[in-house]
Structure 1
Amino acid sequence: MTEWMAYERVTGTFGPERLDVLHGIQTAVIANANRAKGSRKAEPKDFIPEWDQGKRGPMTWQDMLAAAKAYNRRINGTDHTTKGGAAGGDA
């Protein structure tokens, strides 16, 4: 894993982050080719989404359980936990 991390530092990111950058470059080229005269030139960063990178901090197990239960309700799933919820002491 350490070797892959070193390789990525030398070559740049790969995986989903790299694809975001590549699509941002491509979209900026298309936007600039079609922009009106005098308008601001688009940059790749204008088209790269800022994904949630832990800005809220790590989730507690209670938050994870609450999120799983909310998703389960949305898909009409069945709750098989005891005491019915994160506040009820499910682990």
Structure 2
Amino acid sequence: MPVRELLARTSSRELAEWMAYERLTGPLDGRLRGDVQAAIVAATVANAQRAKGSALKPADFLPDWEPPRPRTPEEIWQDVIQINAALGGEYRTTA
């Protein structure tokens, strides 16, 4: 689906929810999950070289995704302005 069509069909609220989810869980796009692919290779190599005992799992080699730090209202507002601009809106101040 082209980006323009996706943006036309997705509300700003839904887009913000997906952005928040991705920040907590890591990249959504499987092609960008090189960390998972590297963890599989690392576990295979480590298990081939280990002595007898329990096998290591790819999860043992994955980085911990740190939750985002608390953000100030000003930082959140700047994100809202950027998302609004990306969706074709404009920023207006009320006077």
Q: Same fold (TM over 0.5)?
A: no
TM-score by length of 2: 0.43
Between the two structures, name the one with larger relative contact order (CA 8 Å, sep ≥ 6): 2
Structure (1 or 2) with the greater helix fraction: 2
TM-score by length of 1: 0.45
